[in-house]
Amino acid sequence: MKTRVPIGDFSRATHLSIKTLRHYHEIGLLEPSDIDPDTGYRYYSEQQLPDAQIIRRLRGLQMPIADIKAVLATSSADTRNGIIVAHLDRLESELAGTRTAVTELRALLDRPQLTVVVSHRTVPATAAIAIDELVDHRTIVPWWQGALAELQAVTGAQALRVTGPPGGIYDSAIFQHGHGRARVYIPVDGTPRAAGRAAPDQIPQAELAVLLHQGSLATVDLTYSQLAGYAHKHEISIDGPLREHYLTGYLDTRDPSLWQTEIGWPIFRLDS
C-alpha cells in the first residue's frame, strides 16, 4: 500500500515550506500524489521525498525551474549531469563577474584623490586604415579587440608604415542608447587598400581635452567621469564623439595592467 504523507509532515521532512510546496504544485514542478476531493488537502508519497530534496538543493543553486523539470524528467544520468554541470558553469561565470565587480568597487572606494592633469590638444586630420561599424555597447569590447587585430593584420600584409598609435572614435549614442557607430583605426602613411572590413579613411581633426588612463579599460569610466567633470566645470564641453588613443594597448600586450590610453573629450578651445 502506498504511503500517504500529509503536506505538513512532508514539509517538515523536506524543509520546504507549505507555501513553497503549494507553489511547486501550481507550476507543475512537484505535484501531490493525492488530493482529497472534499477538502483539497494535499498528500505526497514517500517516493517523492528524494525528488523534493533534489529540488530544494537545485533551487538553492538558483537553477531555473525548467532545468529542474528536465533533471527530474530524464532517466539518463549523462543528460542529468550535463544539465547540472552547465548550470554550475554559469554560476562560476557569474561568481567571477561578481568578484571582479567587488574588486573594482573596493578599488574605487579606496582610490586616493589625485590631482587630475588634463591637457588641451588639437588633433590634426590623419590618414588611416579603419573599421567603421554600428556596434552594441554590450559587445563593444570583443568587437574592439577583433577590429584592432584585423587592422594590424592588414597593415602588416600591405607593408604600411604606421605613423601613430591606434585609436578609436565612439559616438555618444553607444553609451546613451546602447547602440551607435564606432570607428577603430591605425594611422598609416601611403595608400592603404580596402581589405575585409578595413578601408582607407581620413580621421577628422578634433579639439580635445585629454587625460591619460592607466591600466584596464574596465575602469575607463572613471577617467571619462573626471574628463566630463573638468570639461563642464570649465564650460568647454561640446557634443561630439569620444576619442581614445591606445599608446600601449591590446596590440602591444595582453596584460591590461600595462595599458596606457589617452581619453579625449570634445571641447571648444578657449586657449587656442
Q: Are 26 and 40 in contact (CB under 8 A)?
A: no
Which pLDDT score is estimated for 112? 63
pLDDT at residue 115, rounded to an integer: 66
CA-to-CA separations, 77 to 59, 71, 87, 119, in angstroms, rounded: 19, 9, 15, 63
pLDDT value at residue 272: 54
Q: Would you report the helix, strand and coil content of the chain in percent, each value rounded to 5?
A: 45, 25, 30
- Reference 127, options 176, 167, 87; nearest CA is 167
- Is the four-CA dihedral 95, 98, 100, 106 of positive or negative sign? negative
pLDDT of residue 94: 86
**pLDDT for the residue numbered 23:** 94
Instruction: Give the model's pLDDT for residue 181.
Output: 96
Domains of the chain: 4-73 (1.10.1660.10), 119-266 (3.20.80.10)
Handedness of CA 26, 28, 32, 34 (dihedral sign): positive
Query: For position 44, what pLDDT does the model report?
Result: 93
* pLDDT of amino acid 116: 73
User: Burial code of 190-210, b = ≥16 C-beta within 10 A, e = fewer?
Assistant: eebeeeeebbebebeebbbbb
CA max distance for the chain: 94
Give the separation between CA 7 and CA 19, rounded to whole angstroms. Answer: 10
CB 222 within 8 A of CB 104: no
Distance between CA 3 and CA 7 in Å, rounded?
A: 13
Look up residue 53 and give its three cell numbers: 530534496
CB atoms within 10 A of CB 59: 16
Burial of 52 (0-12, 13-18, 19+ CB in 10 A): buried
**pLDDT per position in the chain (272 positions), as tens?**
567 889 999 999 888 999 999 999 999 999 999 999 989 999 999 889 999 999 999 998 889 999 999 999 988 989 989 999 999 999 888 888 888 777 777 766 676 665 678 999 999 999 999 999 999 998 999 999 999 999 999 999 999 999 999 999 999 999 889 999 999 999 999 889 999 999 999 999 999 999 999 998 888 888 898 889 889 888 899 999 999 999 999 999 999 999 999 999 999 976 65
